[in-house]
Structure formats: C-alpha cells, structure tokens
C-alpha cells in the first residue's frame, strides 16, 4: 500500500474549509467557543462502530439513522419506495479498494466512467515525489488493480489462477478479491479503514 490520503485530502479538508467559510471564520481565523456547525452523517445500525465524533470543536456530528434505529435494509426499503432501489453504497470511482465486481460494474454500465478510471490508472503509474509513506519516490509503478496490470487489461472478469498462486490465496480469499471492500466510503467513515482485506490496495510493481 502506498501513501493514501484520499479521504483526508479530498473530502475532510474541503469540508472543513467550507464549514469555516459558512460559519464566517475562514482559516486561520480563530472560531469562538460555542460556534459550530451540525453535520448529519448517514451511518446505519449495521455499521454503528463507524460513527465517530468530529475531531474539531466547530463541527458536531449527528447520526440520524442511528437515532431512528435504521439499518441498511430500512434505508433500502425507504429508497425503494421512491423507485431508488438500486442506489449503490458511495465510493470514489477510482478507488483502489474496488474488487473485480465493482470494476466490472463500472466497465459494463458506464463507458465514460470506465474511460475516466482507465485514464486515472495510467496517470498514477509513476506516482509522484511524495509517493510512499516515507515520502520517497516510487521505485516501481503504481496500479489501481492488484494484479499490477493496467486497468484496461487487468483480469477483472475473474480472479486468475496466476493471481491466486502469486498471492497464495485460498478460494475464500480469492472471493474477497472479487467483491472488494463492500463498505461504502464517507468522509467520516472511510472504506480504507476496512482495509483488512487489502494490505496493498494500490498495487506496486518493483
């Protein structure tokens, strides 16, 4: 796994910036005690362990789904009543925690989004000067798919025998490769936290 700061950099930081702006105290102004914005975070009862307090005093998290004791299936039932039964869990398009099934879904249902992720995958190949956790350049190349093959050619239709052998995976573990991290991702509950599955979410070939 290379340095990964997606949630912090692209979600949490801009949200805090906006909240400060809305409160009228843009950075680096000091926010007076007692001034805060309330944020509603959609964590359901199935994942109550992901509910956390905000890490700054000027934001307070509320979890309305927990307050109403709604599970994921309650949410799906509610969405279904509005014809939105196929609402997916949220995540970024080019998330390295996608499994093959998620990549296939993008490829097979949205050609423009597939073109976008293929382009993104090609763009990260050399990483950048602060590419890994110690701030060193990548010695190899970065890939979104764990096969360490460009996404456009990666074996996303099934976990190959070669992948299984290379990673010494059992059939059950290979199944996890297929499904990826199924948790959704929000600024306050990053699916990267569920990375027990993938110690090397961004494939790195040396």
- Pick between residue 138 and residue 180 the one whose CB is nearest to ligand SF4: 180
What is the nearest approach in angstroms of ligand SF4 to the Cβ of residue 13?
12
Q: How many helices (H) and strands (E) does the chain have?
A: 8, 4
Q: Is 79 helix (H, G, I), strand (E, B) or coil?
A: helix
What is the nearest approach in angstroms of ligand SF4 to the Cβ of residue 188?
11
- Pick between residue 19 and residue 124 the one whose CB is nearest to ligand SF4: 124
Cβ neighbours of 106 (radius 10 Å): 21
CA of 109: how far to CAs of 86, 115, 134, in Å? 13, 12, 38
DSSP state of 38: E
Nearest to 47 by CA among 189, 162, 176: 189
What is the nearest approach in angstroms of ligand SF4 to the Cβ of residue 7?
4
- Pick between residue 127 and residue 192 the one whose CB is nearest to ligand SF4: 192
Residues in a beta bridge with 140: none
What is the nearest approach in angstroms of ligand SF4 to the Cβ of residue 91?
4
Q: Is 149 helix (H, G, I), strand (E, B) or coil?
A: coil
Contact 54, 16 (CB under 8 A): no
What is the nearest approach in angstroms of ligand SF4 to the Cβ of residue 25?
26
What is the nearest approach in angstroms of ligand SF4 to the Cβ of residue 161?
28
- Pick between residue 74 and residue 113 the one whose CB is nearest to ligand SF4: 113
- Pick between residue 1 and residue 76 the one whose CB is nearest to ligand SF4: 1
Gap between the Cα atoms of 197 and 206, Å rounded: 22
Residues in a beta bridge with 40: 62
- Pick between residue 31 and residue 43 the one whose CB is nearest to ligand SF4: 43
Contact 129, 179 (CB under 8 A): no
Binding site for ligand SF4 (CB under 6 A): 6-7, 91-92, 95, 97, 185, 190-192
């Amino acid at each position: 796994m290379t340095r990964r700061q997606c949630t912090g950099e692209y979600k949490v930081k801009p949200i805090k910036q906006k909240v400060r702006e809305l409160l009228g105290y843009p950075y680096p102004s000091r926010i007076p005690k007692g001034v805060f914005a309330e944020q509603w975070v959609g964590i359901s009862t199935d994942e109550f362990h992901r509910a956390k307090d905000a890490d700054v005093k000027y934001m307070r998290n509320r979890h309305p789904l927990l307050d109403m004791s709604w599970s994921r299936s309650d949410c799906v039932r509610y969405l279904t009543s509005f014809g939105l039964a196929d609402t997916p869990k949220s995540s970024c398009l080019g998330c390295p925690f996608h499994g093959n099934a998620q990549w296939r879904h993008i490829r097979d249902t949205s050609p423009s989004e597939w073109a976008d992720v293929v382009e993104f995958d090609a763009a990260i190949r050399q990483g950048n000067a602060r590419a890994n956790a110690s701030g060193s350049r990548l010695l190899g190349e970065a890939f979104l798919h764990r096969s360490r093959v460009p996404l456009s050619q990666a074996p996303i239709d099934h976990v190959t025998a070669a992948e299984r052998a290379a990673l010494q995976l059992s059939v059950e573990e290979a199944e996890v490769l297929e499904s990826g991290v199924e948790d959704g991702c929000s600024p306050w509950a990053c699916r990267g936290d569920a990375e027990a599955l993938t110690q090397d979410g961004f494939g790195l070939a040396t």
